[in-house]
Amino acid sequence: MASLISCPHCGVRPKEEFSIRGDATPVRPAPMASDEAWNDYVHVRANPRGRIREHWQHVAGCRRWLVVERDNFTHDVFSVTDAAAGRGGAQ
Amino acid sequence: MAYDYQAVHALDGTIGAVPGQRANHLAVHRATAIAVVLAAPGHGAEAAGILVADGAFEARFCGPGEWLVLSEVHAPETLVAELSVRLGAFAFVVDQSHGRVALTLSGPDAARILANGIAVDLHPGAFAVGRAATMLCNHLSVNLARTGVDRFDLVVMRSFAEAFVADLKVMARSHDLSVDFATR
Ligand SMILES: [Zn+2]
């Protein structure tokens, strides 16, 4: 169930401890990229059904930004990782 | 022009003490030395090692590379300097002695009382003595540390302390709870 999220730092927590901050898949364009690229990045979002990657911030716990991979139809949670881990930034 | 500043505890006049020493007791500490330590990038292990090695510091986990450090040995005025000199460039230290309020809930029903507001499993097998974490209690974020099987330390932000004590009284309504400032 998506109502329980396993924070990699804090353990199993209820969803009320988190703020959902949106799609985690868009990649920030280069500063001088085209207006179209920036418009896509800032405003355009797909709304798929099924397996999605989202930013969840653990605001009432460790306050870290996490990437939650879950199914928005079945509520299955597949993985929860620190958003900085992919960039080697997690301590 | 010179001003005299006076430290006033966040719960002075608003604690709503429930007198006596009942089966369960909530003690509000008057002057606790508290600081937040945030490890410098890549130096979490060094900072943790220094904190654990010194018995004068009680380090409570907040997040990766981040701890609330309480001390009964050092005064609120000196804790930051004591931490900074030991941690050096491994961490950043910020005084929170007047920014947070520390409370101790003890008694045979302590875990049951907390379970009325906290969704984390507090069975000693799941949340063992010595563990600490920041978690949601009703709508407030608190740092909870288990210091004994029936004993918990709670640290909340100063401005939430009054609401938090009121919440705890409601959570303990079906249990016997006394509330007062700690005597030490
Ligand atoms: Zn967390």
Cα of A22 vs its chain's centroid, Å: 6
Contacts of A64 in chain B (CB under 8 A): 63-64
The reported pLDDT for the residue numbered B5 is 80
Determine contact: B44 vs chain A, CB below 8 A. Answer: yes
The arithmetic mean of pLDDT across residues B97-106, rounded, is 96
CB contact under 8 A, B63 and A59: no
How distant is the Cα of A81 from the closest Cα of chain B, in angstroms? 13
- Do the two domains B24-30+99-181 and B33-95 of this chain adopt the same fold? no
How distant is the Cα of A33 from the closest Cα of chain B, in angstroms? 30
The complex's ipTM works out to: 0.88
pLDDT digits (tens, 9 = 90+) for B144-171: 999 999 999 999 999 999 999 999 999 9
The CATH number, out of the four listed (2.60.40, 1.10.260, 3.30.70, 3.30.1370), of the domain defined by the range B33-95: 3.30.70
Query: Which are the contacts of B14, defined by CB distance < 8 A and separation ≥ 6?
Result: B162
SS3 A53: strand
The reported pLDDT for the residue numbered A1 is 41
Listed by start position, the domains of chain B span 24-30+99-181, 33-95
How far CA B26 is from CA of A16, B30, B140, B163, in Å, comes to 26, 13, 17, 14
Listed by start position, the domains of chain A span 4-82
The arithmetic mean of pLDDT across residues B105-118, rounded, is 97
The neighbour count for residue B11, using CB atoms within 10 Å, is 20
**A4-82: CATH superfamily:** Folate-binding superfamily (3.30.2270.10)
Contacts of B133 in chain A (CB under 8 A): 10-11, 61
Contacts of A62 in chain B (CB under 8 A): 62-64, 66, 134
- Of the candidates A13, A62, A91, the beta carbon closest to that of B42 is on A91
Determine contact: B65 vs chain A, CB below 8 A. Answer: yes
SS3 B166: helix
pTM metric for this prediction: 0.91
How distant is the Cα of A90 from the closest Cα of chain B, in angstroms? 8
How distant is the Cα of B26 from the closest Cα of chain A, in angstroms? 23
pLDDT digits (tens, 9 = 90+) for B115-142: 999 999 999 999 999 999 999 999 999 9
CB contact under 8 A, B135 and A16: no
The neighbour count for residue B88, using CB atoms within 10 Å, is 12
CB B90 within 8 A of CB B39: yes
The CATH number, out of the four listed (3.30.1360.120, 1.10.10.920, 3.40.718.10, 3.20.20.150), of the domain defined by the range B24-30+99-181: 3.30.1360.120
Task: Report residue A44's pLDDT band, with 50, 70 and 90 as the boundaries.
Answer: very high
Determine contact: B38 vs chain A, CB below 8 A. Answer: no
- Of the candidates B64, B65, B136, the beta carbon closest to that of A16 is on B136
